[in-house]
């Protein structure tokens, strides 16, 4: 955190249950009146969600542990996803000294990255099922996935699944060229 703050940057970090002291401290703080709040609705593919962000001044006990800590945040999401009701509450810490509205924009921007990039890499590009365990090879394959993803986005595709289906014929030809470079370069049959 110190490096982030000293380099004139800020942070917003999700406080997960694997950090029980931090998580419980924020949860306890949420029992008090927030200093600011903001609500919004999200509608999309098979979901309708009502969201509410609440912001509190960070307790002094926490600011000693976390360099630059300014606020603690809770975001409650309630709605229907794929026909099923759900409710969740997520906690965050931040060094930002700004309004609930601006914090909601930052958190929503991060979730957009998570949903639009990481989910695609994990599910569509099957990154989670990769059995490569050597660091250098895994990193190389990760970079190749990133390049491919970005090229498809730059080409104007909104859906990576559709892009892969459309490019499948061309990728097959490319794979053939990669596997048989001499034959393809000199047109040997």
- DSSP characters over 6-17: HTT---EEEE-T
Domains: count for the chain: 1
Residue, of 71 and 134, whose pLDDT is higher: 71
Domain assignment present for residue 19? The answer is yes
Residue 100's pLDDT band (boundaries 50, 70, 90)? very high
Q: Model confidence over 5-27: pLDDT tens digits?
A: 778 888 888 888 888 888 888 99
Establish if 77 belongs to a structural domain. yes
Contact 166, 151 (CB under 8 A): no
The more confident residue out of 66 and 122 is: 66
Token duo for residue 65: 């542990």
* Domain-located, residue 23: yes
Percent over 90 (pLDDT), the chain: 30
First-to-last C-alpha distance (Å) of the chain: 61
- DSSP one-letter string for 18-78: TSHHHHHHHHHHTTSPPSEEEEEEEEETTEEEEEEEEEEEPPHHHHTTSTT--EEEEEEEE
Closest to 92 (Cα-Cα) out of 131, 58, 117, 128: 58
> pLDDT at residue 77 above 70?
yes
106-160: per-residue pLDDT in tens? 888 756 555 556 667 766 777 767 777 788 888 888 788 777 777 777 777 777 7
Q: Contact, 80 vs 48, CB < 8 A?
A: yes
133 domain-assigned? no
pLDDT of 189 over the 80 cut: no
The answer to whether residue 30 is domain-embedded is: yes
Q: Mean pLDDT for the chain?
A: 80
| R_g of the chain, CA atoms, integer Å | 22
Specify if 147 maps to a domain: no
Query: Which of 80-89, 107-116, 166-175, 179-188 has the largest mean confidence?
Result: 80-89
Residue 21 lies in a domain: yes
Say if 140 falls within a structural domain.
Answer: no
pLDDT at 187 over 60: no
Q: Domain limits at 66?
A: 2-98
Q: How confident is the model over 37-55, as pLDDT tens digits?
A: 999 998 776 778 899 999 9
Bigger pLDDT: 82 or 32?
A: 32
Verdict on whether the full-model pTM lies above 0.75: no
- pLDDT tens column, 155-166: 777 777 787 777
């Amino acid at each position: 955190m110190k490096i982030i703050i000293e380099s004139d940057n800020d942070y917003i970090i999700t406080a997960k249950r694997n950090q029980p002291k931090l998580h419980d401290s924020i949860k306890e703080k949420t029992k008090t009146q927030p200093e600011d709040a903001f609500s919004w609705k999200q509608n999309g593919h098979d979901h309708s969600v009502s969201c509410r962000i609440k912001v509190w001044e960070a307790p002094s006990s926490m600011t000693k542990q976390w360099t630059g800590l300014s606020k603690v945040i809770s975001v409650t999401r309630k709605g229907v996803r794929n026909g099923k009701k759900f409710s969740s509450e997520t906690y965050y810490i931040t060094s930002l000294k700004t309004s609930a509205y601006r914090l909601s924009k930052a958190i929503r921007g991060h979730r957009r990255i998570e949903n639009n990039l990481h989910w695609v890499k994990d599910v569509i590009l099957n990154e989670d099922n990769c059995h490569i365990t050597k660091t250098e090879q895994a990193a190389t394959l990760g970079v190749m996935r990133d390049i491919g993803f970005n090229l498809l986005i730059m080409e104007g595709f909104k859906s990576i699944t559709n892009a892969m289906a459309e490019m499948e014929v061309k990728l097959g030809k490319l794979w053939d060229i990669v596997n048989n470079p001499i034959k393809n370069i000199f047109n040997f049959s």
